[in-house]
Structure 1
Amino acid sequence: MRLPLLFATACCISISHPALAGEVQVAVAANFTAPMQDIAKAFEQDTGHRVIAAFGSTGQLYAQISHGAPFEVFLAADDTTPARAESDGLAVSGSRFTYATGALALWSADAGLISDGAQLLRSGNFEHLAIANPKTAPYGLAATQVMQQLGLTQALAPKLVEGQSIGQTYQFVASGNAEVGFVALSQVSRDGEITSGSAWQVPAALYQPIRQDAVLLNTGADNDAAAALLDYLKGEQAAAVISRYGYGH
């Protein structure tokens, strides 16, 4: 007589606490830190899956992945590194897609410093210009392209201070160790407004498009939480967060 009651109770528990909820380990490009934190929170609330994220430069994260780090999803700051992960046999073929298109900004913590960014760069009226390492950080590479397009590579070279990631580059400027720096627009903008200091959104024509691709790594091929996160990144809720931080989607 007690059997139906036990069965009914088990069903209620299964519905209230998803039996298939799991966790996913994600390697995330540093420029996408704040949006990913927002997306992860919403994803966890909506699915019950837990996101464990590590942030760094795309090149550094790829080096960790290639040496066996247990990441299951890779959100890069470019499209070439995830493609390389596929060609190197580290990622699931066909799983790669562009989750965001980045924008570059010249930023200063001084609210009065930048009015015309190109003119400021030409004037050289600053001691230090921070950029991310162009060998490992796609936003750093974009910064070098801007300087080349403006014909300022040699003139600005003595003023450059390199961060290992765009996150460290932002800190150089925020702390005053560099008066100005090239950062991701997402780090200094919300809903189309600069959140602090002064900034110049660099015209997209001055650097190659920063297409940021996601890919499912082989370690996550059988993880439902990993597949669910990638699907979530393609959805409307994630797209709204991505747009809010100044990315194209």
Structure 2
Amino acid sequence: MTIHASRLAGLVAALAFGSVHADEVQVAVAANFTAPIQAIAADFEKATGHTLVAAYGATGQFYTQIKNGAPFQVFLSADDTTPQKLEAEGETVKGSRFTYAVGALALWSAQPGYVDAQGEVLKQNQFKHLSIANPKTAPYGLAATQVLARAGLIEQVRDKLVEGQNITQAYQFVSTGNAELGFVALSQIYKDGKVTRGSAWIVPASMHDPIKQDAVILNTGKDSVAAKALVEYLKGPDAAAIIKSYGYEL
């Protein structure tokens, strides 16, 4: 097959343009959003050519790291207050903050049939260990304590609590059987309209403060084409479909 010189020049220019403008974006991602961002990253890279490099952890820990100069360019928080705080402290690109998802909480056991659809298993108090994320650094952990308080069960379960550093560790305690049940992010156990493993009570949103999850471009990403592209992609329909498939609201 013969390629004319003009067409060849065009192909070379296109490749050069792609190599110059394809970039990498460093993203701090709240642990509850691990599965969705992994799915989004693959589509984002295909659509834009940019590479998403993610670190996962607790929102409070990321706040400390960002304040100490961590090179993250975009922050996907598990709450809205931490990005607001960073914004007020001059650590973010003005006007870049937005809510990318509203999370849901679930009481979950890896054992089928262990958790009933109304969460009565909590009141029955027959379990030895209840896993939650650290409420001081993880918004889903804070939401879990709010649910327990509203149900009047704080004192009843206090000695049974097993605390994970973040929501991933809280999930792992239950997944491995070290805790019979625990409060996890719905997105960790849910896909396309159903719980994928074990048994769960999807906690009514009225039982805890809204888990509004905000994203923001940090000052380190102010000149990053990839950072801006990621934020725009997260606002689009393709990302929205993935986010909703994991049980989040928009």
TM-score, normalised with respect to structure 2: 0.95
Identify the residue that residue 83 of structure 2 maps to in structure 1.
82
* Cα pair 2:117 2:202 within 8 Å, conserved: no
Identify the residue that residue 15 of structure 1 maps to in structure 2.
14
Supply the AA of the counterpart residue of 1:11. G
Supply the AA of the counterpart residue of 2:102. T
Q: Would you say 1:108 and 2:140 are equivalent positions?
A: no
Instruction: For residues 29-50 of structure 1, give each alpha carbon's deviation from its aligned partner in whole angstroms, at most 9, with x where no partner exists.
Output: 0000000000001000111000
Supply the AA of the counterpart residue of 2:78. A
Q: Would you say 1:137 and 2:175 are equivalent positions?
A: no
Q: SS of 2:226's equivalent?
A: helix
Q: For 2:49 and 2:119, how far apart are their aligned partners in 1?
A: 47
Q: For 2:12 and 2:187, how far apart are their aligned partners in 1?
A: 41
Supply the AA of the counterpart residue of 1:40. A
Return the offset for 1:143: 0.1
Count of residues in Structure 1 that have an aligned counterpart in Structure 2: 245
Q: For 2:12 and 2:113, how far apart are their aligned partners in 1?
A: 58
* Cα pair 1:117 1:199 within 8 Å, conserved: no
Q: SS of 1:85's equivalent?
A: helix
Return the offset for 1:187: 0.2
Q: SS of 1:24's equivalent?
A: strand
TM-score, normalised with respect to structure 1: 0.96
Q: Which runs of 5+ in 1 are unaligned?
A: none
* Cα pair 2:107 2:119 within 8 Å, conserved: no
Q: SS of 2:183's equivalent?
A: strand
Instruction: For residues 35-74 of structure 1, give each alpha carbon's deviation from its aligned partner in whole angstroms, at most 9, with x where no partner exists.
Output: 0000001000111000110000001111111100100000
Instruction: For residues 8-45 of structure 1, give each alpha carbon's deviation from its aligned partner in whole angstroms, at most 9, with x where no partner exists.
Output: 53431232461311010000000000000000010001
Q: Post-superposition, which runs of at least 4 consecutive aligned residues in structure 1 deviate over 3 A?
A: 7-10
Give the aligned CA root-mean-square deviation in angstroms.
1.3
Instruction: For residues 89-135 of structure 1, give each alpha carbon's deviation from its aligned partner in whole angstroms, at most 9, with x where no partner exists.
Output: 11112110000000000000010211144311111110000000000
Identify the residue that residue 38 of structure 2 maps to in structure 1.
37
Q: For 1:198 and 1:172, how far apart are their aligned partners in 2?
A: 15
Counterparts of 1:95-244 in structure 2, within 5 Å, are: 95-244=96-245
% identical aligned pairs: 59
